[in-house]
Structure 1
């Protein structure tokens, strides 16, 4: 087992870089996905699903706050982390930044399923992290993510129960599967993240576990998965823009412009906190 890392003030530069790199990915994924989910409010196919997607968006925003709060340990302000950071500096996977197909509920459900399975694996790999400030937040997020994953899985089964719905699910899988793999793209800090025990599973191992869960489930619904998974390296499926390295789709820059517009137009210099820091509770 790796040695326990101490608080933020006692980390070496190498340790700090590793912790920050991981936290940016965790926080940015949740924040950007929450922004996208809000596009479905009052547009979902049923009242119940409308309430569900709204609650999920709120949960994801709360999870982002938990991770951004830890980044503030290193001297960053909330405004700098969200509203004043350049869009190319965000480290979210491109899966979460793509706009939803207009009116296509299958797009939202497939994306949610891909993401929620990956997040469960990511969080489980943080349960025994060597950085206690991260581990203290994992249990709360995991308990809420169980509901998100069940919601997506139940809807997939429902959608795939007839030919029309199955066709829509297939279309969403064809589009989103390569982008889902961007959740498992790493960077220069990943070797240190693993060696220091900040994460107890490598990205490659988590990707294999994700494939072992997602592929059989889709096949059970008569949904085809990419042929490359049978004969090649999953990396060959990756899209041009993966997000983790700062390469983003044009859609992300448009979304970033929209979500920061009010902050800029109102001449803000700080973000007003609407949720408490868990450390203050």
Structure 2
């Protein structure tokens, strides 16, 4: 993708440019916030003390990344309650991979989900390094540094859980269940706006190219530990025939969600609503001041 002209600051963007920037930021921020909410369910329930601490740290990192992206949306006059606590649940744009509840007590679900997500996150954040929107590109380095640790954690557990037949079977079940939802990470929000995101150079790879780069990483990794992705639509360089895997009915990106999302939304906004809040208490510095 050719280098695009640098965009101006948030107050000088045209309406069409602003719409594209906002859509990209919602893709990024909503994924991070929602999957972090799910990750917190594993704290003090992971199989080792070390993994308890790792999950807590990863969830904190993902919430921090969400904060970086939501903060850029605040450039356009939004406030935190508009973006999170008082926003309609049906307006969120996260992938359904992020909202699904974990299979009851199944650490394999966490490992496969985090591996699929972290590899996708690394690909799409790398595609922001040369973004034409400087406010976005300036925050990429911090996110990538933390995502490298997340990927290492997920991959080490992936290899560990595939060492024996019983746990590998649980991992295979998780792959079969979660892969269709993981593909929604690369589903479009709105075709016209997604095309504009690419034309403006907000990212240096389009959704299809990022999905192929992601598959080019995760499929060989799965196969190296004895897991199979029989129905995935693989990149063209694979000399095998695979049927197109169908995306779920609810994709998240197009604002269609599972019932589990609305339950999760009610849960994490409950205290805000019951306390009658109309603003969010800030206990951390603005990302621009860090």
TM-score, with normalisation over the residues of structure 2?
0.95
Matched residue, 2:70 = 68
Instruction: Point out 4+ residue stretches in structure 1 off by more than 2 angstroms.
Output: 226-234
Q: CA deviation at 1:233?
A: 6.1
Counterpart check, 1:202 vs 2:230 = no
Unaligned runs of 5+ in 1: none
Between the aligned partners of 2:222 and 2:289, the Cα distance in structure 1 is: 43
76, 80, 87: which one aligns with 2:82:
80
| Secondary structure, aligned partner of 1:217 | helix
Matched residue, 1:223 = 227
Counterpart check, 1:259 vs 2:259 = no
**In 2, are the aligned partners of 1:174 and 1:226 still within 8 Å (CA)?**
no
| Secondary structure, aligned partner of 2:278 | coil
255, 264, 272: which one aligns with 2:281:
272
Matched residue, 2:156 = 154
Q: CA deviation at 1:165?
A: 1.1
Structure number with the higher helix fraction is 1
| Secondary structure, aligned partner of 1:237 | coil
Between the aligned partners of 1:275 and 1:223, the Cα distance in structure 2 is: 42
**In 1, are the aligned partners of 2:93 and 2:189 still within 8 Å (CA)?**
no
**In 2, are the aligned partners of 1:129 and 1:198 still within 8 Å (CA)?**
yes
Q: How many residues align?
A: 280
Q: CA deviation at 1:278?
A: 1.6
Moved more, 223-232 or 85-94: 223-232
Q: Deviations over 1:106-147 (max 9, x none)?
A: 100100000000011101100000000000100000000000
| Secondary structure, aligned partner of 2:121 | helix
Matched residue, 1:100 = 102
Between the aligned partners of 1:32 and 1:56, the Cα distance in structure 2 is: 13
| Secondary structure, aligned partner of 2:230 | coil
255, 258, 261: which one aligns with 1:249:
258
**In 2, are the aligned partners of 1:34 and 1:60 still within 8 Å (CA)?**
yes
Cα RMSD, aligned residues only:
1.0
Matched residue, 1:133 = 135
